[in-house]
Amino acid sequence: MKTILDKDKMSLAQCRKILNKDGCKYSDEEILKIRNWIYEVSEITLSFLESRTPDELLRIEKILGSKDFDKE
């Protein structure tokens, strides 16, 4: 899997607009940490899903779509 380069990630300005709405005030450093964490979690998730078989993916989809999963 290819790692996403900083130049290809959502811009600081776009992230600031999303994160600082509703009166929140994150610094640029905090915004970059949050953005980078989100991209890292996304890469881990994609890597995991790409390594699964079609049957495993169907089971995962059933679990995530289960009404029992929503009761927590």
Whole-number pLDDT of residue 71: 58
- Express each pLDDT in 28-45 by its tens digit: 999 999 999 999 999 999
Whole-number pLDDT of residue 2: 73
3-state secondary structure of 5: coil
Question: What is the pTM for the complete model shown?
Answer: 0.73
Q: Are 9 and 1 in contact (CB under 8 A)?
A: no
Please spell the DSSP secondary structure of 12-52, one letter per residue: HHHHHHHHTGGG----HHHHHHHHHHHHHHHHHHHHHHHTS
Q: Where are the domains of the chain?
A: 13-71
Whole-number pLDDT of residue 67: 73
Collect the ranges in the chain with pLDDT lower than 70: 1, 69-72
